[in-house]
């Protein structure tokens, strides 16, 4: 079985084609600057991350997503370098969709009802849902015989109990505007929980863990018996941890205060909080490699403070989740760009937690590797794992499962 995974953005489209017999990636690519009348870029890799990898780079305008995906199809089916003969070899297309709204709790086979759900959630995901929807509509036209599955980024958070997702706002208002904590990075958290259970050789339904998806956008997930009981992000991806350009959780009264004092609009404040805050707002940088250099080599006070604030925000959320699980935690799972690669952040997050049974082996932590690994000490009651996330594979696995259920 071959499954194509699409992640359509407003001016880009990522794709991966999987052979589900062994979960290998036949090819992957990225189309950028879609809609730019002068230039666009397509990077296509055949057999990526293998000794047979071959890269094709194109620069030409792509006026819309249909033109871009037509070019992708041409590469997939190329007589000499294609990995399939025609599009009918693809069994199903899995689409990353940011938001499923208030009522969509699970992935779904795309039909008119599913598409209406995605459209209805446009106000909740204005930057992502419209291009995600466009990707689905284009795929339906270009792959007419291939079913499509929508995999929602909110699926993990939609498992939360009512007391976890409900804000203490007037009930009628929350219901009218579909206000609740949704949580995001759901595909990554689901993948990490499943891989963590397998790594620990524990049945999923008996597995408790805290997942730390730490990157430019960051979130923590709290899973009890394999199901989400809390997550750090909320109605939008802004809530929770300090991130690259997002401020994370702040006193909500700051918003009307800024509006009244600066005479700017709510939308302008939203832009400040999402795109000009976080590490960028604190020290002018978002890449932790630059921040480490500024802090350690240049003794830059802003960088030192930004790093401390970041680690503190992670640690505070980690502590609250540890208590929600009543200390019955099998492991912590670090993942994503920072979680997988930044030994300093990992060590500082768990520093001083030995009394809670969380003990890191510093030598293992300092060893770079792209593999799943245990970086805790042999006697650590709570294991500390590093698991590279694979959201595209999780989307493919989910699409495969949804397709099988639809046929049964």
Give residues with Cβ within 8 angstroms of 74, minimum separation 6.
none
**Burial (CB count within 10 angstroms: exposed 0-12, middle 13-18, buried 19+), residue 176:** exposed
- Report helix, strand or coil for 60: coil
Q: What is the pLDDT of residue 256?
A: 96
Crossing angle of helices 266-275 and 254-262, rounded to 10°: 120
Show pLDDT as tens, one digit a residue, over the chain (408 residues).
999 999 988 788 899 999 999 999 999 999 999 988 888 999 999 999 999 999 999 999 998 888 998 899 899 998 888 999 888 899 999 999 999 988 888 999 999 999 999 999 998 888 889 989 999 999 998 889 899 999 999 999 999 999 999 999 999 999 999 999 999 999 999 999 999 999 999 999 999 999 999 999 999 999 999 999 999 999 999 999 999 999 999 999 999 999 999 999 999 999 999 999 999 999 999 999 999 999 999 999 999 999 999 999 999 999 999 999 999 999 999 999 999 999 999 999 999 999 999 999 999 999 999 999 999 999 999 999 999 999 999 999 999 999 999 887
Nearest Cα to 103, choosing from 148, 152, 60, 142? 152
Residue environment code for 22-47, b if the CB has 16+ CB neighbours within 10 A, otherwise e: eeebbbbbebbbbeeeeebbbebbbe
Q: What is the pLDDT of residue 42?
A: 93
> Could you tell me if 283 and 318 are in contact, meaning their C-beta atoms sit under 8 angstroms apart?
no
- Report helix, strand or coil for 341: helix
- Separation CA 95–CA 113 (nearest Å): 16
Long-range contacts of 194-202 (CB under 8 A, 24+ apart): 194/394, 195/333, 195/372, 195/387, 196/330, 196/331, 196/333, 196/385, 196/387, 197/226, 199/331, 199/372, 199/374, 199/385, 199/387, 200/330, 200/331, 200/383, 202/330
Q: Which residue's structure tokens are 């998806």? A: 213
Q: What is the pLDDT of residue 102?
A: 87
DSSP output for 139-158: HHHHSTTS-EEEEETTTTGG
What beta strand segments (E) does 169-270 contain?
209-213, 219-224, 227-231
Q: What is the pLDDT of residue 10?
A: 78
What predicted TM-score, i.e. pTM, was given to this entire model? 0.92
Q: Return the structure tokens found at 408.
A: 């049964």
- Separation CA 294–CA 299 (nearest Å): 6
Catalytic residue among 78, 153, 342, 374: 153
Nearest Cα to 212, choosing from 307, 106, 329, 366? 329
> Could you tell me if 191 and 233 are in contact, meaning their C-beta atoms sit under 8 angstroms apart?
no
Other Cβ atoms closer than 10 A to 140:
15
Residue ranges and CATH numbers for the domains of the chain are 2-152 (3.30.420.40), 203-391 (3.30.420.40)
Told to judge if 153 belongs to the known catalytic residues of this protein, a careful annotator would answer yes
Distance between alpha carbon 242 and the CA centroid of its chain, in Å?
16
């Amino acid at each position: 079985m071959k499954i194509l995974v699409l992640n359509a953005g407003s001016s880009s489209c990522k794709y991966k084609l999987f052979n589900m017999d062994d979960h290998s990636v036949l090819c992957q690519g990225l189309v950028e600057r879609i809609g730019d009348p002068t230039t666009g870029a397509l990077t296509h890799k055949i057999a990526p991350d293998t000794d047979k990898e071959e890269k094709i780079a194109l620069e030409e305008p792509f006026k819309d997503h249909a033109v871009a995906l037509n070019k992708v199809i041409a590469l997939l089916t190329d007589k000499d370098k294609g990995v399939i003969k025609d599009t009918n070899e693809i069994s199903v297309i899995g689409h990353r969709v940011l938001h499923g709204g208030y009522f969509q709790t699970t992935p779904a086979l795309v039909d008119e009802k599913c598409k209406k759900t995605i459209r209805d959630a446009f106000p909740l995901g204005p930057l992502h849902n419209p291009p995600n929807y466009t990707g689905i509509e284009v795929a339906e036209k270009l792959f007419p015989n291939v079913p499509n599955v929508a995999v929602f980024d909110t699926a993990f958070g939609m498992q939360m109990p009512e007391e976890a997702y409900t804000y203490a706002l007037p009930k009628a208002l929350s219901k009218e505007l579909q206000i609740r904590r949704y949580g995001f990075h759901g595909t990554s958290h689901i993948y990490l929980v499943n891989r963590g259970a397998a790594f620990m050789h524990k049945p999923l339904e008996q597995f408790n863990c805290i997942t730390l998806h730490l990157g430019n956008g960051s979130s923590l997930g709290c899973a009890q018996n394999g199901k989400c009981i809390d997550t750090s992000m909320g109605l939008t991806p802004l809530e929770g941890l300090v991130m690259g350009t997002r401020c994370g959780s702040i006193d909500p009264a700051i918003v009307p205060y800024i509006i009244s004092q600066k005479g700017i609009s709510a939308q302008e404040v939203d832009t400040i909080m999402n795109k000009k805050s976080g590490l960028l707002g604190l020290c002018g940088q978002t890449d932790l490699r630059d921040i480490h250099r500024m802090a350690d080599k240049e003794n830059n006070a802003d960088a030192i403070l930004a790093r401390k604030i970041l680690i503190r925000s992670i640690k505070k959320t980690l502590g609250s989740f540890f208590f929600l699980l009543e200390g019955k935690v099998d492991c912590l799972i670090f993942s994503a760009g920072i979680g997988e690669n930044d030994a300093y952040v990992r060590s500082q997050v768990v520093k001083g937690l030995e009394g809670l049974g969380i003990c890191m082996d510093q030598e293992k932590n300092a060893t770079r590797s792209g593999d799943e690994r245990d970086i805790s000490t042999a006697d650590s009651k709570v294991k500390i794992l590093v698991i590279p996330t694979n959201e595209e594979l999780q989307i493919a696995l989910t699409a495969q499962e949804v397709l099988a259920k639809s046929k049964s």
